[in-house]
Amino acid sequence: GIQVEQSPPDLILQEGANSTLRCNFSDSVNNLQWFHQNPWGQLINLFYIPSGTKQNGRLSATTVATERYSLLYISSSQTTDSGVYFCCVVTSGTYKYIFGTGTRLKVLA
């Protein structure tokens, strides 16, 4: 099956810093989403981005489907950005949503 790898696995930032999270996938995908899992376990939708670039406030994302990767940019990080970030893909020809390995982010005040 498809492999979805995220990097880095762990990231510690000082408040105000910028960061880039990466999601690599091993096969063609129809859909790609980015989620933030907060400390209570809730998954928050960040971006639905099968291709192209989107921005929402301090966050933006880019997916280059032909090269099989997606990037999530966090600018001017805040302590509330802490948590785990997951990408999730749906492979072409299936209807299964497969999660990446995750990036655990901690933003220090």
Q: Alpha helices of the chain — where are they, by DSSP H?
A: none
Give the interface segment with other proteins, choosing from 11-19, 51-59, 65-73, 90-98 (CB under 8 A): 90-98
Member of 7, 24, 31, 82 binding other proteins (CB under 8 A):
31
Q: How far is CA 105 from the centre of its chain?
A: 11
Residue 98 pairs in a beta bridge with 89
Distance CA 99, CA 102 (A): 8
Q: Does 24 bind other proteins (CB under 8 A)?
A: no
Nearer to other proteins, 41 or 57 (CB): 41
5 binds other proteins (CB under 8 A): no
Q: Which of 26, 29, 22 is nearest to 85 (CA)?
A: 22
Is the CB of residue 97 less than 8 Å from the CB of residue 36? Answer: no
From 28, 30, 51, 76, residue interacting with other proteins (rule: CB under 8 A): 30
Please report, as ranges, the residues that interact with other proteins according to CB under 8 A. 30-31, 33, 35, 40-43, 45, 48, 86, 88, 90, 95-102, 104
